[in-house]
Structure 1
Amino acid sequence: MLLENLEQNKEAFPNIAIPTLEGLEMVKVCDILYVTGDSNYANIHMRNRAPILISKTVKYIEERLKGHKFF
């Protein structure tokens, strides 16, 4: 439900929810530098912090970033 609300109001929320081992982490889209992938994993390279490794594909991240003026 929360994710659905965030997806519908992308302009109002400049963050995306990233599923990590610890749970969902809210990440500012403007802090994402680039994303790399290896099979079913994605590495989200961030500004001013270590990359976040998640067990999702790059395509999954691309879908989350649609409408956020990332590309």
Structure 2
Amino acid sequence: MVVSRSITTRSTCCGARPPSIYLVAYLSFGVSSIIAGLLIALAGLLGTVLGYGVAIAALGLFAQYCVNKRR
């Protein structure tokens, strides 16, 4: 006896992740990688890495400021 079950994903409040989460994650990594690749030709690898690091640190500090401002 063979039992076949179909696998379906239902969008519930607690179970499945909406596809928008995957889209945001893909774009956040993909777009920054493309921009960094284009900047390597202009600023060089070291300049691009340093600029990327400063940008990430600034975004992190801004996010922390916004979180603390709500409290």
- The normalised TM-score by structure 1 is 0.18
Report the TM-score when normalising by structure 2. 0.18
Structure richer in strand, relative to its length: 1
